[in-house]
Structure 1
Amino acid sequence: MNPATQELKPVYQEMAEEVKLYGYVEVSPFVTRVKIALNLKGINYEFIQEDLDNKSPDLLKYNPVYKKVPVLLHNGNPISESLVIIEYIDEVWKGVPIMPNDAYEKAQARFWSTFIADKCHPALFKAIGSHGEEQAVAEAHELLQFLENELNVKGTKFFGGDNINLVDICAGYIAHWVVAAEEALGIEVVTKDKFPKIAEWCGNYINCQVVKDCLPPRERVVAYYKGRFGKA
């Protein structure tokens, strides 16, 4: 091999794998999802902090539809929406899998992650915003019971089995953000007595090193909820 070509090869590889993540580092569970997926794969990336009150021209260009974070930029190609980004990461980079290989199990992972994102998260946010109002909490509990049942049926450490997968990453909002909100506001939404399997899963998830490395500091999340919902 020509020595000159040999010297240029690492530079070319680095340029070919340009990865940038546009996000809001403070408390966003959606940006954190993507950071965990990148961490799982061992991908080096540049994090670009966005001011959500003064969004950058790049963010508006790369996500003109929703105009929000996260946005992953890979070799100049933008991908938006956290769950879409995570599947993209799993398809592009090999190594630790985030999605199951089996077609049925993959469909199930998509089903449960969508259920959590579209149903559980809004209900939990409503319960938090209402300061634990009885009806709002009851609505959240009705949805969480499906997750409790799924963990019981699986009988595994994580929704993904012995290792975390897309469903676990999506459900991370419960393990870190909801628990912090409970502390901030002095309320109980996800109780250990009612949801023992979810409570056990929460402990397993936040103590997983690849997750722990990416979580925003708990005190910051607590402060966020105190600031946003601290006054009834």
Structure 2
Amino acid sequence: MLFYKIAIAAKTDGLFYILRYSKNFDLAVLFLSLIVSLKCIVFLFDNKNLKVDSFSKFAYLIGYIILPFIIITKIPFGIKGYNPNILISIFILIWTNDTFAYLVGKTFGKHKLFERISPKKTIEGFLGGIGFALIGSYFISKYFLMLPEKNTYIWIIIALIVGIFGTIGDLVESKFKRISEKKDSGNIMPGHGGILDRLDSVIFVAPIIFLFYQILSYVS
């Protein structure tokens, strides 16, 4: 029995090793996640499609929620090995973008960004969020990640990804709630729209950043 348990543990560890370090597995997860993200964007701008069929629900569950979380665990490995500060920096940029998009939009917002889906979002808020995220990306790369000056552009691009695709992720989540006639995505975080509302930007941004890392790795 002891040898049987050891054999099972060895097989399990081997499986996790393959899933963690297999390049083909990473690319497969990334490809499927990007396909679903593209489907989400099409769904967002489709005025006629107000229902989600059973297959699409399954695809969204896997590609919109589960696969991005797998990708999130892989992002900290970066190009030069494991660095948890990479993931922390991404969350900081997302929070910076969301916070200043709200503040700038509330103070100066006059032009609606996507009123049909999210009446409170404005173009001014969208640009303000990106602007402060760009500023934050410079300080993160220079003083938190301690990157050389010549590599600052990497986090400037990541800030743009966060600003653009984080907003799209928020709008996609808003449309999901609108067509399901739900105000909140859950009851775990009362007053915050549900836990998925706090993570919608992260799960939409993660595959794009991971794709960017793959491009950087290939070029370098």
* Alignment TM class, shorter chain as reference: 0.3 to 0.5
TM-score, L = length of structure 1: 0.32
TM-score, L = length of structure 2: 0.33
